[in-house]
A and B are shown apart, each in its own frame.
Chain A
Amino acid sequence: EVQLVESGGGLVQPGGSLRLSCAASGFTFSSNWMNWVRQAPGKGLEWVASIKQDGSEKYYVDSVKGRFTISRDNAKNSLYLQMNSLRAEDTAVYYCARNGGYCTGGVCHAIFDFWGQGTLVTVSS
């Protein structure tokens, strides 16, 4: 059974740092792109970052570039999000999501097929 379990959320002051973790099990972690998606209280979903299977490619939403770093440790089946210079607008539930992927004719589509339960990050003084 595929499981994704986030941890590391909490209350942090503006300008502070936090590191989120996502422990994966039930699948070959090194075979999938992984993602972080967040949801501010009462708001919609926002994709935050993606990382390729071997960590060689990383992408970020503009609002977190230079502040957040996505990484992974395939030996530990773990995904991370290092968040620095946190702002009030970063307050959200952060989900890790597996990209199940679907490729046909050389074209691949993202499928966020498994999600964690989310971890709440609150940035406030």
Chain B
Amino acid sequence: QMTQSPSSLSASVGDRVTITCRASQDIRNHLGWYQQKPGKAPKVLIYAASSLESGVPSRFSGSGSGTDFTLTISSLQPEDFATYYCLQDYNHPLTFGQGTKVESK
């Protein structure tokens, strides 16, 4: 079970944005972060809690281990307005967080 917060947030370009996921049990570092834009398939940003997927801008970073994880966008860009999901891959069933919609303030 993954609990993601907040469910939505309003931010401006240039803001620092933080999204958190909490696991109901220790999942080590088996967590990824995904970005989804309306009508599109998700895109992986981070895997193994803190590893940046190739081609993903360095303003995205992930941290955490055990039960608490964070996705940080250091300086929000216009193309970053989207919904973000965490995904635990420690064990089956794999579970996504409920999602965080990042909207323009």
* B48 interface residue per 8 A CB criterion: yes
CB within 8 A of A46: which of B41, B83, B92, B96? B96
Given contacts A44-B98, A102-B47, contact A111 B32 (CB under 8 A): yes
Hey, what's the 0/1 contact readout for A112-124 against B, CB within 8 Å counting as 1? 1101111000000
> In the complex, A113→B44 CA distance in Å?
6
* A50 interface residue per 8 A CB criterion: yes
**Which residues of A in the span 93-125 have a Cβ within 8 Å of any Cβ on B?**
95, 97, 102, 107, 109-113, 115-118
Contact-residue bracket for chain A: 20 to 34
> In the complex, A115→B40 CA distance in Å?
10
Given contacts A45-B42, A60-B93, contact A109 B99 (CB under 8 A): no
Closest to B96 in A: A45
> In the complex, A87→B87 CA distance in Å?
25
* A27 interface residue per 8 A CB criterion: no
> In the complex, A3→B87 CA distance in Å?
22
* A1 interface residue per 8 A CB criterion: no
> In the complex, A46→B85 CA distance in Å?
10
Hey, what's the 0/1 contact readout for B10-49 against A, CB within 8 Å counting as 1? 0000000000000000001110101010000111100110
- A44 B44 Cβ-Cβ under 8 A: no
Question: Which residues of A have CB within 8 Å of B99?
Answer: 44-45
- A110 B89 Cβ-Cβ under 8 A: yes
Smallest Cβ distance from B93 to chain A, in angstroms? 5
Question: Which residues of B have CB within 8 Å of A102?
Answer: 47-48, 51
- B47 A47 Cβ-Cβ under 8 A: no
- A47 B32 Cβ-Cβ under 8 A: no
> In the complex, A110→B95 CA distance in Å?
12
> In the complex, A112→B87 CA distance in Å?
10
Hey, what's the 0/1 contact readout for A71-100 against B, CB within 8 Å counting as 1? 000000000000000000000000101000
Q: Closest 7 interchain pairs by CB?
A: A110-B89, A115-B41, A59-B92, A47-B94, A44-B99, A45-B96, A111-B47
Q: Which residues of A line the B interface, CB within 8 A?
A: 35, 37, 44-47, 50, 59-62, 95, 97, 102, 107, 109-113, 115-118
